[in-house]
Structure 1
Amino acid sequence: MANISSVDEFLSGFDGPARARLQELRDLSRRAAPKAAEDVRWNQPAYLHASGTILFMFSGHRAHANMAFTPSTLEEFRPEMGTRKVGKGTVQVPYAEPLPTELLTRMIQHRIAEHERDGIGWM
């Protein structure tokens, strides 16, 4: 995979429902973390605190997107995940399901707060 230099370039690699969902995640990220800088890390969109610390990322896959947070953020919201598939710090967001906007917004806000309040860095 060639190195991706921008989120626009990342998005251009997807079409249909995947592209639409990834654009939704970008829009949500910008609304929920307006002070975060948008960048690309490991060929994925990443949102950075002014300190340079990664706050969260997202990625696209065949049937779902992943939102990546710190394990501590995911643990805080695990009781609300229901049947969603989760990993160490990721939550799957299937393209065929409605975007859990409110939940993801709260997770982003929690992640910003845990970094600013507790100094929790990236994985």
Structure 2
Amino acid sequence: MWQCPKCGREFDNTNQDHSCGEPSKTIDAYIAAQSEEVRPLLNQVRDTLREALPYAEERISWRMPTYWYKQNIIHFAAFKKHIGLYPGEKAIEHFSERFTEYKSSKGAVQFPYSKPLPLPLIAEIAKWCFDTGNHH
């Protein structure tokens, strides 16, 4: 186990990437706590998800901005070098051919800050998760 010297949280991995301190209570607070360079990108993702999921409620879940309608639909989060999108395993499988230029894992895809955000793809993923019931 590794313990962060700043916040005291314990992790399995040494130097685990995480946010220190109390988790944000709102998406506004989450975005405001990020760096000046990252905030506009997070707002672009937020605006895209708001438009794609007009009936979803915004909330913080798992310390991430989340869109919820009867259950979690999709999450996103800021990291050191990328924005992570968490639509769940089935969405990652369904859209895998569209992620060739991005790093993806079982339930997430990483959009690096060095590339333009694929906002139409993010909207399509969110709508697919909502329409198919394959929520995260």
Q: Same fold (TM over 0.5)?
A: yes
The higher-RCO structure (CA 8 Å, 6+ apart) is: 1
> TM-score by structure 2 length?
0.81
Number of the residue aligned with 1:102:
120
Offset, 1:45: 0.4
Large movers: runs of 4+ above 2 Å: none
Identity of aligned residues (%): 24
Corresponding pairs, count: 116
Larger radius of gyration: 2
Give yes or no for the alignment of 1:9 onto 2:33: no
- Equivalent residues of 1:48, 1:56 under 8 A apart: yes
Aligned AA for 2:129?
Answer: R
The structure whose residues are more often helix, as a share, is 1
Gaps of 5+ in 2: 1-20
Question: Deviation string for 1:81-107 (max 9, x for gaps)?
Answer: 112000111111112211101111111
Give yes or no for the alignment of 1:62 onto 2:80: yes
Task: Describe the SS at the equivalent of 2:130.
Answer: helix
Structure 2 CA distance for partners of 1:67 and 1:121, relative to 1, 3 Å: closer
Once the two structures are overlaid, the 10-residue window that deviates more, 17-26 or 54-63, is: 17-26
- Equivalent residues of 1:6, 1:39 under 8 A apart: yes
> TM-score by structure 1 length?
0.89
Query: C-alpha separation between the residues in 2 aligned to 1:110 and 1:19?
Result: 26
Number of the residue aligned with 1:23:
43
Measured on the aligned residues, the alpha-carbon RMSD in Å equals 1.2
